[in-house]
Structures are given as structure tokens and as C-alpha cells.
Amino acid sequence: MGNAIALMISSGGTSVLGVVFWGLAAHLATATIVGRTTAEIAAMMLLSNLAQLSFQSIFERFLPVAGVRTRAFVQRAYVMCVSVALVLTTLYVTVGFGHGYLPAAWWGRVLFVLAVGTWTVFVLQDSVLVGMRASKLVPVENLLFAVAKLALLPLLLKASSTQGIFLAWTLPVLVAIAVVTWYIFSVRIPAHSSATRASEELPTPRELFVLAGAQYATMVFTVFTPSLVSLIVIQRLGAVANAHYYIPSLFLVGLMLVTWSVARSFLVEAAHEPDHLRHHANTAIRGMALVVAPAVAVGVVLAPELLRAFGSEYASTGVTLLRMLLLSLPLYAINFLYSSFAWYDRRVWRMAVANVATAAVYLAVVLSLIGRLGINAIGVASLVASGLEGAYFLPQLVRRYRSLDHR
């Protein structure tokens, strides 16, 4: 439970500080600049997630049992993922994607390419720590990163009104990578390798390809679809509307990250102690309930006050959207727990196919309603997609839970 609490603190704390960051940005910069920068950051995260080749979940599933093979496993993954990040982002910029929000200056585009590469390592190193049951360091790293970017924001906005937000978001990553990489390879991997026996075969290259392919399909819903929606909003409704959508979405994303952190901890503990699977499942269910129930209840009631902190224009346009997004959270939580079981069982394709199908429905609803409902179309799409996921995954999750030994 300690690892789950650490990840919840990390996700919850960084989400709160992220809301503060964007609240300050909304007061220091125009809605147009905020909208363009959120699109740039969304593109950076999208490309980074594609470049990670699903190693987040792979690390958390297999590092607990990697033993002496841990160092080589991590090194190879880093090299592959960073190489893919740099090539993919260079192609993205060269072809002309993102011309509506990426800076025109060459240095800004080089910065974007490098930012994707560094962000890829920044995200992967958290999963390396989690997989080696060093989750207590994750909130320390992420909270210091969140505080640093918040402190840099006013200074960098003065230096560059157009790129200040993006610079504040990305520059602290360099320090975090340097410190954590040293710790992982010099301290944690040697300790983990000597203390953990290789109790399970690592996946073959063919199985890694299958698992990564399924996770890529799942990414359409978990990462790729929200990024696409941000791009749809900025193209159909403009940069200001994207800022009005992005701020309410921060609350849902933050709560989803906290809930997902419980599922991540369950997967690591289940891989490490398969004989106590039911106990770890019960702990995960209780943890998710403690997050989801009060968050939805309080958030729906206090939605106007939460958004008013960002300015009256955000409150006047985003309350309905925020409420609909929050109401979809319990159904997303069902998907998170099911996905942890799927990764534990090494059977992820059924989950991937279902997520792709709901992603298609989600995008179809957004595209068909955004002209009439504006950003509220995203809330309707979230309720519809999460409802379909809940109806599909809940019966399977119940059957899998009932199959567990009472230990």
C-alpha cells in the first residue's frame, strides 16, 4: 500500500500544482498564448508517448522479476525510445505538422524536438522506479519538478511572451533526468539486481512486440485521443476555446492519474507477490474508491468555484464540461483496474480492441456535436465512451476477481 500512496501523492500533488501553474499562466498570458502552448505541450506528450514503445507498462510488469537482467533491460529500452523520439519528432516538424502552434523560429522547433526526447526519459524513469519498488522517490522528483516549473513561469514569460510557458514546462526536466538517471544506474539497479531473483521469464522480442502493439492501440484512447481533441478544438473553435477546454480537462486528467497510480501499484505488487493477488486487488479497489467517490461528489458541486480561480471567462464556459468529465471518472476507473489484470495475465489485445472502438465513438461524438455544443461536446463524448467501456469491462472484471484465491 505504501507504493500506491506514494504514487497517489505524486499524481495528486503534481495535478494540484499543475492546476496552479495553468491558473498563473492564464493570468500572466493571453488566452491565445495559453491555447497555443497547451496544443504544443499536448503534441510533445503525444509524440513522447508514441516513442515510449509501451515500456511504461512493460517496466512495471517485468522489472519486479528481472533480477540481474535489469540493467541491460533498462539501457536497451532507453536507447530505443529516445532514438524513436528524435526521429519521429524531426519528421513531425519537417513535414509541417503543428504549423498552427509551433514557433516559426528554427531554435523553437529544435527545442521542441529535444523536449520530446527528454520528456520520454523523464516519464520512463518513473516507471523504472515503480517497477523496482522505489515508488517513494517518484513524488519527490515530480513535486520538485512541478515547483520548479511554477517558479520559472513568471521569469520565462518576461523573457519570452510566446515561449515562456513551454520553457518553464520543459527546462526543469533536464535536472530531474540528470539526478534520477544517476540514482537509477548507480544505486537502485545494483540493489534491485542483488535482492531480486529472476522468478519469471522476461518476454521474448516477439511477445514484447505483441504487448507493445496492443498498448499502442490502447494509447489511442488514453493519450492520442485527448491530444487529437485539443487539435480539433483549436482548428474548429480557435486557440481561446482550446484554453477553455484544457483547463476543465486538467481536473479529470489529474484525477485519472491518481486513480491510475493505484492500478500501477497493484500491477507491480501482483507481479512481485502473485500468491497474494486477491489481497492486492482488494487494496486497489479500496484505494480507487477513496479517490473517485469524494472527488466526483465535491467536484460536481464546486465546479463553478474551481474554475473561477482561473478567471470569470473560464467559469462561464467550462462548468458544464467539467461536471460531465467528472461524472465519467468512475467508469474510467473500471478500465484502469481491468487493464492491470490484463497486463498481469499478458493478455492485452481484448482491452486494446475495446479501447480503440470506444475511441472511435468518442471522436465521432466530438466531431458531430462540436459545431452545436462547442466544448461541451467533449463532455458528452466522455460520458458516452466511458459508459461503453464500463458496460464492457465490468462483467469481465467481476469474473476475473471471483477467480482469485482467497489469500
Question: Is residue 354 classed as helix, strand or coil in its secondary structure?
Answer: helix
Q: Is the pLDDT of residue 147 over 70?
A: yes
369, three cell numbers: 456535436
Q: What is the mean pLDDT of residues 392-401?
A: 91
Model pLDDT, residue 201: 64
Q: What b/e readout covers 205-242, taking b as 16+ CB neighbours within 10 angstroms?
A: eeebeebbebbbbbbbbbbbbbbbbbbbbbeebebbbb
Q: Is the pLDDT of residue 246 over 90?
A: no
Question: Is residue 286 classed as helix, strand or coil in its secondary structure?
Answer: helix
Model pLDDT, residue 248: 87
DSSP category for residue 63: G
Residue 267 vs residues 15, 71, 95, 237, 247: alpha-carbon distances, Å: 22, 21, 39, 40, 31
Residue that wins the pLDDT comparison between 140 and 102: 140
Q: What is the mean pLDDT of residues 69-87?
A: 91
Q: Is the pLDDT of residue 178 over 80?
A: yes
Q: Is the pLDDT of residue 45 over 60?
A: yes
Per mean pLDDT, which range of 59-73, 93-107, 195-209, 275-289 is the poorest?
A: 195-209
Structure confidence by residue, pLDDT tens digits, 337-372: 998 888 888 787 888 888 888 888 999 999 999 988
Q: Which of 373, 254, 391 is closest to 321 using CA atoms?
A: 373
How many CA atoms lie within 13 Å of 123's alpha carbon, on the beta-carbon side?
A: 24
Burial category of 255 from C-beta neighbours within 10 Å (exposed 0-12, middle 13-18, buried 19 and up): buried
Residues contacting residue 5 through CB under 8 Å, at least 6 positions apart: none
Structure confidence by residue, pLDDT tens digits, 322-333: 999 999 999 999
Residue with cell 500501477: 264
**C-alpha dihedral (323, 324, 327, 330), degrees to nearest 10:** -130
Residue 233 vs residues 224, 238, 313, 401: alpha-carbon distances, Å: 14, 6, 17, 40
- Residue 197: how many CB atoms within 10 A of its CB? 11
Model pLDDT, residue 255: 87
Q: Is the pLDDT of residue 383 over 90?
A: yes
Q: Is the pLDDT of residue 73 over 70?
A: yes
Model pLDDT, residue 250: 83
| pTM (2 d.p.) | 0.69
User: Helices 2-28 & 277-301, crossing angle to 10 degrees?
Assistant: 30
278, three cell numbers: 486477491
71, three cell numbers: 540493467
Q: Is the pLDDT of residue 4 over 80?
A: no
Q: What b/e readout covers 92-107, taking b as 16+ CB neighbours within 10 angstroms?
A: bbeeeebeebbbeeee
Q: Which of 134, 122, 139, 132 is closest to 177 using CA atoms?
A: 122
Residue with cell 503543428: 98
